[in-house]
């Protein structure tokens, strides 16, 4: 006590009060964090979203970029057409109207039902069901709009391929964007969105590349949409136009292919099932690539009718398959030049090595036959006349692991990386692969077949062309590519595709000279006489790969020319057509003569 005043006792805060204070602190922290998230971290994005509440972008799809050949000849373009679309969601909710709508559009009820129930489409965006509609039909549908709210008629720029089947496997085709594609492309566009139009780069009505160059270079060909930015009321009524944007056409994609060379290759392969691939060995540029049989890509725009799709899918010749990159075959004797090169490199043979070919080679209890009784054969003649006995013996000395290593050094068993989807890698076998695949050991006879390009080894015609490029360039192989340059339509921006070395095979100049001389003799006096070109030294090699017992062989031929300074490397395959010298070499010979006539 002091002067009669009692000191106040110090009050102790209870546990409940401490809990309340902690709760208030947590709530304040959460609110602060949320404000930071909204105002600082995502302020610009949320501001843009708020702007969307009172503005709307009326989108105009962009014209798709052109695809042209190396001489600017148009291979893929656009053409304005009247198209008829339906809204799938409206028909899904009112399935009883499907027969009426189908009847008015002139298509089968079941076909329309199947189209709108496809789970891959966006049900809320118009689905194109007819293109190239007649003017009278369009007027009739527009006049019936009140009774047909599910149907829309519009004018769209549709993709057109003026050369049809000629470039089908290279260009691919476009189709209406699926729901999965829309999500994927839109998510990618959002990451780089700098304005309104970039945020809506893709729409459910857009057409995108489904295969070929159209798919690989979709980002360049698509373009940037245009339209109007308008102010609207909360009820959606348009008040005024704020801005107008012109759509930007997609980039022009320039291919390395020459239309004239492609046309020639297509004509020469008529009547055959197979492929022809021609490369510029100095760059890896594709000069021509044809697969037969082919198909018309215009059938897929905007969608392929069921009555057309089923026969294509069920055709035993598989016209949709790009045999140049998607089919793999035993290479047969076109494999022999690199086996000879490896034998020279390892010192197992020399240019003076010879064998006596009696029409077969005895290994163990089995005789491996040669396609002909050659008699005495030296190194150069083994290539020129394709003596199997020479390569049975050489393969036996090399062994399967060395043959597999050699194959991989020339790019076999691996995708080349060409700018096309769905490339197949082929197969390079070895003892370990066989143990894992079949749980069996490697047999000696399989090594002998390996040496002549038979057995488990398979390659694509494109890999055959890359192998030929390696021989032409004395070990240097470039990545094959179809696109030469990408240009904006105004010419302000140009992107050139530069050559890319993908592998090298080292050997001495003398060994390269020997193998190339053997290939030149194959054309001048051996199995490939049909590939001669007046005034030009051609180095080539025929191949006849067994496929099925009792059936004809696959006909192969590879070549490069001129032998001393190559400007072209070519590979021809004709499935089950017979001998390479009788079938594939004449095709390549005619193509090469035309190539040099054009001044290449």
Contact 75, 69 (CB under 8 A): yes
Contact 197, 226 (CB under 8 A): yes
236 Cβ contact list (under 8 Å, min separation 6): 56
Interhelix angle 388-398/336-345, nearest 10 degrees: 50
Residue matched to tokens 């055709």: 315
Burial class, 102, CB count within 10 angstroms (exposed 0-12 / middle 13-18 / buried 19+): buried
Contact 60, 226 (CB under 8 A): yes
Half-sphere exposure of 552 (CA within 13 A, CB side): 14
Q: Give me the catalytic one of 333, 386, 407, 544.
A: 333
Angle at 153 between CA 151 and CA 155, to 5 degrees: 155
Tokens of 583: 């079938």
Neighbours of 199 (CB within 10 A): 15
Contact 354, 377 (CB under 8 A): yes
Q: In whole angstroms, what separates CA 115 from the centre of its chain? A: 27
The verdict on whether 407 is a catalytic residue reads no
Burial class, 463, CB count within 10 angstroms (exposed 0-12 / middle 13-18 / buried 19+): buried
Residue matched to tokens 């399989």: 446
Interhelix angle 388-398/444-451, nearest 10 degrees: 120
Dihedral angle sign, alpha carbons of residues 383, 385, 388, 393: negative
Neighbours of 267 (CB within 10 A): 14
Tokens of 42: 């995502």
Catalytically active residues are: 333
């Amino acid at each position: 006590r002091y002067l009669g005043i009692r000191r106040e006792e110090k009050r102790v805060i209870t546990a409940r009060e401490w809990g309340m204070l902690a709760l208030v602190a947590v709530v304040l922290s959460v609110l602060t964090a949320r404000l930071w998230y909204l105002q600082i971290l995502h302020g610009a994005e949320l501001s843009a979203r708020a702007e969307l509440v009172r503005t709307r972008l009326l989108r105009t799809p962009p014209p798709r970029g052109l695809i042209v050949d190396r001489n600017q000849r148009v291979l893929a373009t656009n053409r304005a057409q009247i198209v008829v679309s339906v809204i799938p969601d409206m028909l899904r909710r009112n399935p009883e109207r499907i027969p009426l709508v189908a009847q008015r559009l002139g298509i089968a009820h079941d076909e329309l039902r199947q189209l709108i129930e496809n789970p891959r489409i966006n049900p809320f965006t118009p689905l194109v069901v007819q293109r190239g509609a007649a003017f009278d039909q369009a007027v009739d549908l527009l006049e019936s709009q009140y009774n047909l709210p599910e149907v829309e008629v519009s004018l769209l720029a549709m993709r057109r391929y003026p050369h049809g089947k000629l470039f089908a496997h290279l260009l691919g085709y476009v189709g209406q964007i699926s729901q999965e594609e829309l999500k994927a492309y839109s998510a990618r566009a959002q990451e780089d969105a700098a304005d309104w139009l970039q945020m809506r780069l893709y729409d459910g009505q857009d057409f995108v590349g489904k295969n070929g160059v159209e798919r690989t270079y979709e980002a360049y060909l698509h373009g940037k949409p245009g339209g109007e930015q308008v102010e609207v009321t909360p009820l959606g009524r348009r008040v005024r136009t704020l801005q107008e944007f012109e759509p930007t056409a997609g980039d022009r994609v320039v291919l390395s292919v020459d239309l004239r060379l492609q046309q020639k290759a297509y004509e020469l392969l008529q009547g055959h099932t197979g492929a022809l691939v021609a490369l510029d060995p100095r760059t890896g540029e594709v000069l021509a690539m044809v697969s037969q049989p082919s198909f018309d890509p215009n059938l897929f725009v905007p969608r392929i009718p069921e009555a057309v799709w089923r026969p294509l899918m069920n055709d035993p010749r598989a016209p949709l398959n790009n045999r140049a990159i998607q089919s793999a075959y035993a290479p047969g004797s076109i494999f022999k030049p690199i086996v000879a090169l490896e034998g020279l490199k390892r010192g197992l043979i020399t240019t003076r090595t010879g064998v006596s070919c009696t029409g077969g080679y005895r290994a163990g209890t089995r005789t491996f036959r040669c396609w002909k009784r050659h008699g005495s054969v030296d190194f150069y003649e083994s290539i020129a006349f394709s003596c199997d006995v020479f390569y049975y013996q050489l393969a036996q000395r090399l062994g399967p692991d060395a043959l597999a290593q050699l194959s991989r050094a020339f790019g076999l068993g691996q995708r080349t990386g060409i700018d096309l989807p769905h490339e197949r890698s082929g197969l390079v076998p070895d003892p370990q692969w066989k143990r894992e695949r079949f749980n069996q050991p490697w047999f000696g006879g399989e090594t002998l077949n390996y040496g002549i390009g038979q057995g488990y080894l398979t390659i694509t015609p494109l890999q055959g062309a890359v192998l030929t490029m390696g021989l032409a360039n004395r070990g240097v192989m470039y990545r094959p590519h179809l696109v030469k340059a990408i240009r904006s339509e105004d010419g302000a921006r140009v992107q050139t595709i530069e050559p890319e070395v993908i592998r090298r095979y080292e050997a001495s100049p003398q060994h390269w000279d020997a193998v190339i001389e053997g290939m030149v003799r194959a054309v001048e006096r051996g199995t490939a006489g049909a590939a001669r070109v007046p005034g030009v030294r051609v180095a080539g090699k025929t191949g006849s790969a067994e496929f099925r017992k009792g059936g004809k062989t696959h006909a192969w031929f590879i070549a490069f020319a001129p032998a001393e300074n190559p400007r072209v490397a070519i590979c021809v395959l004709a499935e089950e057509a017979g001998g390479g010298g009788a079938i594939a070499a004449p095709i390549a010979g005619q193509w090469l003569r035309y190539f040099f006539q054009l001044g290449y």
